[in-house]
Amino acid sequence: MRRLRKIKIVATLGPASSDYDTIRALFEAGADVFRLNMSHGEHADIEARHRIIRQIETDTGRPIGILADLQGPKLRVGVFADDEVELETGAGFRLDLDPAEGDARRVQLPHKEIFEALKPGATLLINDGKIRLKVVNCGADFAACEVMVGGTISNRKGVNVPDVILPLAALSDKDRRDLEFACQLGVDWLALSFVQRPADVEEARELAGGRAAIMAKIEKPSGVQQFEAILAASDGIMVARGDLGVELPVQNVPPIQKRLVRKCRAAAKPVIVATQMLESMIDSPVPTRAEVSDVAAAIYEGADAVMLSAESAAGSFPVEAVRTMDNVAIEVEHDPTYREVINASRGGDKQTVADAIVSAAREIAETTDIKAIVCFTQSGATALLVARERPLVPIVAMTSRTGTARRLCLSWGCHCVKTGEVGRFKEAVINAARAARADGFASAAEQIVVTAGVPFGQAGTTNILRVAPCEERLITATDPG
C-alpha cells in the first residue's frame, strides 16, 4: 500500500461511510487517517467505526491513523415563538438570559460568559456570519445591539464572537466525556476545538495523559494571535478555515493559512488544511476547478495533510472525493514548480545534532543516487525532523511502537513500518534494507540512507547516519558493528 504522493489525506467518517466495505474503499483510494467527528453520532457509532478501521489495519498490514475531533463549546441563541423572524438592518435587537421565546426585538442567549466579556462596539455574528450585530450597550445579563446586516434568524442558530477572548474553556463537559471515551478506544490524535490560548491545549494534554497526541484547531482570531504559544503547546495544528472565515474577513484566510503552514513546518509539527476543500463533491462526482486549485494550493504550501469533511462523511461520492484528492496530489507533486516552491520555503531553527543529521540525510539523498531515507524512531521526533526537510526521496519511518507508527500516518511523506526492537546499528541497517526492498522503495542493487539514535530505545538521540546498500550480503561485509 505504498502511496505515490507525500501529502496525507484525512477522511471524515459518517453516515455515508460507516461500513467495512466503504471504509476499506476509502483507505484503498488514498485515505491515510480517518477522522471521527465527536459532534455527531453516539459513542456506540464511534466505537463501531473505530473497530472497523482497526480491522482494516489488520487485514491490510498497514498502520492507519485515527483522529477524534472534539466538538468544543457551542454558542447558540434560544428559540423563537414563530421559529424564525426577520431582522431589519438598522433595527435594534436584544440578547439576554431570559428563557422566554424570542421575537423580532429579542431572544435568549444562554451563555452568561459572553455577556461578562462583551464591551460596547463588539461584534456578534449569527448563523455563520449571515447576520451581524454591533453591541451598543451591555451588562451582566444582556446586550443591546444594532443590526448591521439583517436577515432571517431562526431557532438555535450559532453565535460567533470574534472581537473578544471569551472566558470559556475549550473543553465542555461533553468534550471531557468524549475525550476519555476516545482515549480508552485508542485513537491516535485528539483535535481540540475552540482553542483561544495555550492553556486550552495544556488542559487537554493533562486529561489525555499521553494516550493521544493533541492537535489544536485554529478557528478563532485569538488562536491566530497567540499561534506561536499554541503551536509550542501542541503536537499538531488544524487550520479550520470554516469558522476562521466567519470570524475574520474571508480575504484574510488565505494568507493566514500560508503563514500558519510555514510556521508548523519550521517547528516540525504536522499541519492539516481543512474545511470545504471539495465541497461540491457532496452532491457531484466531480469537483469545481476552484476547489481543485484550493487543494493544490495547500499542497504547494507544504501542508502535511488535507482533509475531507462532509464530502466523505455524508456525501454521495465519498470514495470519488478521496480519489480526486489523491490524483490532485500526485499531479502537483510531479510538477517541477512544486519542488522549487518546497525548496525555497525550507527553513526552521536547526541547532541540534539531530537537525544536522536529518539535513545531511536529505542533501546526500538528493545529490546522489539514493532511493529512500529510512529513519528509526521511537517517539516519532526523528521522522518529523526528516519530514520537515521535505526531501525528494521517500521517507520510511521504522518504529517498534504501534502508536508512533499510527501517529506518523499524518506526517508528510512518512511511510510507516512496524519493526521489532533492535540493539545494534548493523541490525537496524539490515532491517531498513529489508523494509525498503519489501515495500518497493529500492532494489538489492540500490542504496538508502539510514538514520538512527545510538543507544537504541532512547527518544531524541538521533546521532548516526549511514549510506547503505540494500543487499544484506554487502551490509554484513562492510559493517563491523
Catalytic residue among 106, 157, 217, 406: 217
Catalytic residue among 76, 197, 350, 426: 76
Cα of 88 vs its chain's centroid, Å? 39
Is residue 275 flagged as an active site residue? yes
Task: Please name which of 129, 128, 139 lies closest in space to residue 96, comparing C-alpha atoms.
Answer: 139
Strand duo 84-87 + 65-69: pairing:
unpaired
Is residue 339 flagged as an active site residue? no
Is residue 51 flagged as an active site residue? no
Task: Please name which of 364, 370, 351, 374 lies closest in space to residue 425, comparing C-alpha atoms.
Answer: 374
Catalytic residue among 275, 324, 377, 462: 275
Give kind and range of the element (H or E) at residue 96: strand 92-96
The 3-state DSSP class for residue 435 equals helix
**Cβ(193)–Cβ(71) below 8 Å:** yes
Residue written as grid cell 497526541: 213
d(CA 206, CA 180): 11
d(CA 16, CA 388): 35
C-alpha cell at 214: 493533541
- Residue 162, CA atoms < 13 Å, CB-side half-sphere: 20
- Eight-state DSSP code of residue 163: T
- Eight-state DSSP code of residue 461: -
Is residue 6 flagged as an active site residue? no
Catalytic residue among 6, 8, 24, 35: 35
d(CA 393, CA 383): 14
Q: Which residues are catalytic?
A: 35, 76, 217, 275
